[in-house]
Amino acid sequence: EEIKIPMPWGHISGKWWGPTNKQPIIAIHGWQDNAGTFDNLASLLPSNIAILNIDLPGHGFSSHLPDGQFYYVFWDGVFILRRIIKYYKWDKVSLLGHSLGGAISFLYAASYPDEVNHLISLDIVSPAVQDVTKIASLTGEYIDKFLKYELLSLDNVPCYEYDEMLDIVYKAYDGSITKESAEILMKRGIEPAYSRGKYVFSRDARLKVAFLGMPSLELVLTYASQIKCAYLNIRAVPGLKFERSEYYYAVLEKIKVQARKFEYHEVEGSHHVHLDAPEKIVSIITNFLL
């Protein structure tokens, strides 16, 4: 079922799978993906489990942030999650996040440690800790790119035939998804350019430069030490490549200390294994939720 949740600047869209009389797990997609990323997984979960897959701002069918506003995707996500939870008046929640969505879920569970039951994180543990010299050297370039992207509108962004678009999406993921998976993401990721009889990407171009304001390792580890819920991390192998993979395991060790329950699993697959081959992880998730 398609849903819309009102926000001060527009709305957040989502897909509600399973019983609507049960509180759902909130599922959050990765950067420049959309709620469709969980379609295949949601269809395999037991029928008594409800799941709400949301489109983050600027993604899928959700409203873009207001003109002139920069996307601080990690922190924006925590605010969005809080607004959704307040809207539904839920006291405690369970979270499922892939990539960026897993990092947002991590920050939420650390910020509201007594209000999260379960956290399931797919091929991510926290916001990526990047080399500070790299961040400092790229800041000016990022700001100028943002100013360029914000001038783009539906009338002047590139438009493509459907098959062209499918090729662009498939190649952009560099082997992380199949063509079938690319088509699933495209259902919420493109829209007709009516004036030109082709298609455009519906996501906000400003998202391409959304990685300013990244936390330090010290801050990430401090957040990790505040997580108390039941915690499941599924790492895809080879999965996503990290600048410093040792940080991934350092953060997990911190979480393990306080978490009510802790599980770590490795599965063979790409960064989008949950979309391409959900049968590899569905039983791990189902057993964890029991």
DSSP H helices, 127-241, are 132-149, 162-172, 179-189, 217-224
Residue pLDDT, tens place only, 138-196: 999 999 999 999 888 766 788 899 999 999 999 999 889 999 999 999 999 999 886 66
Alpha carbon distance 63, 92 (integer Å): 26
Length of the chain: 290
pLDDT at 98 over 80: yes
Alpha carbon distance 56, 30 (integer Å): 9
Catalytic residues: 99
DSSP tag of 160: B
Q: What is the pTM of this model?
A: 0.95
Residue with tokens 């897993």, as numbered in its chain: 102
pLDDT the model gives residue 134: 86
**Contact partners, residue 278, CB within 8 Å, separation at least 6:** 40, 41, 44
Q: What angle do CA 24, 35, 121 make, to 5 degrees?
A: 65
Structure tokens, 62: 């959700």
Sketch out the chain's domains with CATH numbers. Answer: 2-129+216-289 (3.40.50.1820)
